[in-house]
Amino acid sequence: MVVGNVNATEMCDAVVIGGGPGGYVAAIRLAQLGKDVILIDKRPVLGGVCLNEGCIPSKAIIHAAETFEQMNHASTMGLNIEGTVKLDMTKLQEWKNGIVKRLTGGVAGLEKGHGVRVMQGTASFRGPKQLELINAEDRVQMIDFDHAIVATGSVPLELPFLPVDGDFVIGSKGALDLSEVPETMVVIGGGYIGLELGMAYAKLGSKVTVVELQDQLLGGGLEPEIHRVLLRRAKQLGMEILLGHKAQGAKAGSPGTLTVQDKDGKTKDISTHKVLVSIGRRPYSDGLGLENAGLAVNEQGFLPVNEERRTGVPHIFAIGDITEQPMLAHKAYLEAKVAAEVIAGHPSAFDVRAMPAVMFTDPEIATVGMSEAEAKAAGYQVKVGVFPWKASGRALSLGATEGLSKIVYETETERILGVHIAGAHAAELIAEGTLALELDAFLDDLAHTIHPHPTLSETVLEAAEIAMGTCAHFKSPNR
């Protein structure tokens, strides 16, 4: 329903709904291709969840926590810091917010520089080629368009019996904005967001307990070797990991309590100062009026799209978290370019063999392609090459021996099916594995590629050599 004062109708070649990683890139690419573009976002600043309350600020907190822990253990390298290393959360928050402000301001500058018209407000379809935009002052703007890209992202899943109050029960955004480190914290959900933040606060001084419904962390798809490394590191940080447990309710206080139940039905109360709910995310299409454009989400809440990112209405496209799993910013970046290029009349398609996933836990975890179990389930005869980082000179010099690099490959052809890394800077190293899969590489392609020494990238080379039986730095069990 139209409310408030109505402005004159705006017209454009393409409208992009959502200013996150997918949306803001789509708008820029459309403008580069000569299209008149309007970019709409509800926030006063662009960047979406990723830049404002997700990827970027969380990595800033995680890096600060890593540095804090390293300083407290620097004496092992002969670096003796006089007195106690003190944490100033106010200063940390200022530093983190400064990073966010710089990046979101940069995005705004890029949009302006490309001639994109940016509008703030809530958009909803009023027809297959018309949007209604309501801003913070309830002023209404009608927008007529030739093409649209839906890039509305996702929002956190909630527990009906444990609503986020921003005080005792917090979400990931609240965890990134804490003014002080809580003495104790319970994280509900052992996915990557909960583990990343839980480990960071454990390093900053919290006693952290993770409550996970499944029997394995990070969605249950980890290589067993990596899961063991992760659990071992969590224990070193003083964290308690309760697998096969579910939250039942909480009583606020300072401290309050969280009640959990195990698989046998036994319950117990955990004393805690904060409860962080991090159980996943859902695609966000609330209030978008998709039905008015002839669109509907599927049972999982996603907008179905084809390889061009077209929806069932050919001139309306969708990208990012609203489309399908996985919900990853780097997936949205590529989808944005594909959709923009198709709209501009250029041949383009979302056609990827490999989609890397990275988790900024400790150690970092990065995977691409099939796991060993997935490859076997798909009917492949497989073997693996695993190189432990304790045998890496670079890992030793960094004090980062908790890790491994693993390659899953087809036995007969030695074609690489998956690469899995746990260790420092794994998120940077996985690009080599991603390229290997995109190029349909084989073990000898990696093994015969010279890697610089001494580096962590050599661990991928060594894993390939272990698989081939040619590794000089660790005994190869395969040959």
User: Which residues, 6+ apart, have CB-to-CB distance to 426 below 8 Å?
Assistant: 358, 363, 364, 365, 366, 403
End-to-end CA distance of the chain: 71
Strand intervals (E) in 151-190: 154-156, 169-170, 184-188
Of 221, 175, 176, 211, the C-alpha closest to 190 is 211
Tell me: cis bond preceding 347? Omega within 30 of 0 counts. Answer: no
Which one of the listed residues 63, 420, 453, 473 is annotated catalytic?
A: 453
Give the whole-angstrom CA distance, residue 370 versus residue 373: 8
CA-closest candidate to residue 48, choices 21, 71, 30: 21
Concatenated DSSP letters for 384-412?
EEEEEGGG-HHHHHHT--S-EEEEEEETT
What is the phi/psi pair of residue 389, to 5°? -70, -15
CA distance 281 to 219: 13
Paired tokens of 347: 């041949």
453 is catalytic: yes
What does residue 404 show for φ and ψ, rounded to 5 degrees? -160, 160
So which residues are the catalytic ones?
A: 453
